[in-house]
Amino acid sequence: MKKLIATILMLSATPALAAGGAFFSLHNTNFIVLLAFLLFVGILLKFGVPGKIASMLDARAAQIKADLAEAKALRDEARALLASYDAKHQEVIEQSARIIASAKEEAEAAAKQAKADLKDSIARRLAAAEDQIASAEASALRQVRESAISVAVAAAGEVLAKQATAESASASIDAAIATVDAKFH
């Protein structure tokens, strides 16, 4: 402490010596200013202001260290969270790729099934059309036969009517009745 006061006196005395007159006089303003400064520094030291300032600076430094530690912890937490989100993002991308592949496979399977169903449907319709054609052919043949039979019966009836006499008609009727009677009993 004494060294500090001596150093301050030496530094402040040098400009004072350049002034004219005695330095240690109350008429010298430099001496008065030096006394006031020393009194001020003494009061500061008496009340422990440098210690309080040092403790405030230490508290501020501790607060800054705590803030830096908290910021580092938050940064590490943010990095961990970012890594977690990146992993989740990658997992979602892989899952969406699996879903797309599965959907493609299902679509291909559905298309194959639709083709098979279409072939079966076409085959059934073709078979149904062939059955209808065969039925129509059979119906047409039956109608032709029936028409031929009715034409033949009509022609035979006309021929018999032209050739038949009353006696032969009566004999034919009697023979037909006998045949019918024999078949029913």
- Read off the pLDDT of residues 135-181 as tens digits, 9 standing for 90 and up: 988 888 888 888 888 887 777 777 777 776 777 777 777 888 888 77
Which helix (H) or strand (E) segment holds residue 33: the answer is helix 29-46
Instruction: Note the pLDDT tens digit of each residue in 50-68.
Output: 999 999 999 999 999 999 9
Write 38-45 long-range contacts (CB < 8 A, 24+). 38/5, 38/8, 41/5, 41/8, 45/1
The b/e string for 71-86 (b: 16+ C-beta within 10 A; e otherwise) is eeeeeeeeeeeeeeee
Average pLDDT of the segment spanning 5-22: 58
Q: What is the reported pLDDT for 117? A: 93
User: In 121-138, which positions are buried (b, 16+ CB within 10 angstroms) versus exposed (e)?
Assistant: eeeeeeeeeeeeeeeeee
- The pLDDT-based confidence of 46 (bands split at 50, 70, 90) is very high
Note whether 5 and 16 are within 8 A (CB).
no
Q: Quick count: other Cβ atoms within 10 Å of Cβ 31?
A: 19
Say whether pLDDT at 16 is over 50.
no
d(CA 177, CA 171): 10
* 93-117 residue pLDDT tens: 999 999 999 999 999 999 999 999 9
pLDDT class for 73, splitting at 50, 70, 90?
Answer: very high
pLDDT over 50 (residue 184): yes
Q: What is the DSSP letter of 13?
A: H
C-alpha to C-alpha distance for 158 and 52, rounded to whole angstroms: 151
